[in-house]
Amino acid sequence: MDSLCRRFEGKVVLVTGAARGIGLAVATAFAKEGAVLAVNDVSEENLRGAIAAIREISPKSMSYRADITKADEVCEMVDMVGRDLQCVDILVNNAGTALPTGTLDISEQEWDRVMSINLKGAFLVSQRVIALMIDKKRKGNVVMMGSLSGKMGGVATGLHYSVSKGGLIVMARQLAREFAKFGINVNAVAPSFADADMLRDLKLEGKKEELAKMNVIPRLATPDDVANAVLFLSSESSSFITGETINVAGGRLMD
């Protein structure tokens, strides 16, 4: 049991968008199992609180403020992680944004913003981290934070969100095919509505019971539910799984 509880002893884990919500839950879960965290977020203020909490569990963890939509900031961040912590063993592309705008009301600027954060950012970080893994000759894992919306279309989120999350699922598949020869596994998780910050951002707190009824298991996902799936896909227990997407959806979609 002790070995299970320290599955990631000595591993370096980079989590983007990790200062709150699901990202913070994922980073905290890795820290509790022995990992050293490289915690990223665009908000310096939120990042300070997050890294303080994580260092109480994993003292060697570091924080890195960077806007993942900007290639130069991504390159600088990953280079700094490489210098500070030697390598990245596990990358969790969690950073994202969700907006409820109806299709006919989405502006070009809003479309570009959602795509840039959710899809372009994951590409830029994955590209740089995978190059570092290969350079260091280290096997690794990459996990994309998809969404059930990326498979089914959104219920309360806009078209741009659904398309970006569907793109992450396809990105995971192609990266899995391309980099398996280097010992790098790439997968995704697809949560349904989770009781986290994004639900509040979408102003859906008053509809929790209604949303929960969409699931076979009649409750919302918790951030820990999602974190558990991410940790599984990052562990030796999933070493023969790549290019897959695990639904964390209480049975709402069975595919």
Within 10 angstroms of residue 228's Cβ, the number of other Cβ atoms is 16
pLDDT of residue 204: 75
Residues 53/47, Cβ–Cβ less than 8 Å: no
Report yes or no on 254 lying in a domain. no
Report yes or no on 253 lying in a domain. no
Report yes or no on 98 lying in a domain. yes
pTM metric for this prediction? 0.95
pLDDT at 67 over 80: yes
Report yes or no on 216 lying in a domain. yes
100-126, pLDDT tens digit by residue? 999 999 999 999 999 999 999 999 999
Q: Is 161 one of the annotated active-site residues of the chain?
A: yes
Q: Mapping DSSP to helix (H, G, I), strand (E, B) and coil, where does residue 34 land? A: coil
82 pLDDT band, cuts 50/70/90, is very high
pLDDT at 220 over 60: yes
58 lies in which domain range?
A: 2-248
138-179, pLDDT tens digit by residue? 999 999 999 999 999 998 899 999 999 999 999 999 999 999
**CA pair distance 225, 245, nearest whole angstrom:** 15
1 pLDDT band, cuts 50/70/90, is very low
Percent residues over pLDDT 70 in the chain: 97
pLDDT of residue 179: 98
pLDDT of residue 200: 72
Tokens 């096997």 belong to 139
pLDDT at 197 over 50: yes
Report yes or no on 200 lying in a domain. yes
**CA pair distance 33, 10, nearest whole angstrom:** 10
56: left (phi over 0), alpha (psi -120 to 50) or beta: alpha
Tokens of 121: 């950012």
Report yes or no on 49 lying in a domain. yes
CATH at residue 88: 3.40.50.720
Percent residues over pLDDT 90 in the chain: 87
One of 64, 161, 179, 193 is an active-site residue; which one?
A: 161
Mean pLDDT computed over 206-228:
89
Report yes or no on 127 lying in a domain. yes
- Total domains, the chain: 1
Mean pLDDT, the chain, rounded, equals 94
Mean pLDDT computed over 29-37:
98
Evaluated on CA atoms 148, 152, 156, 161, the torsion sign reads positive
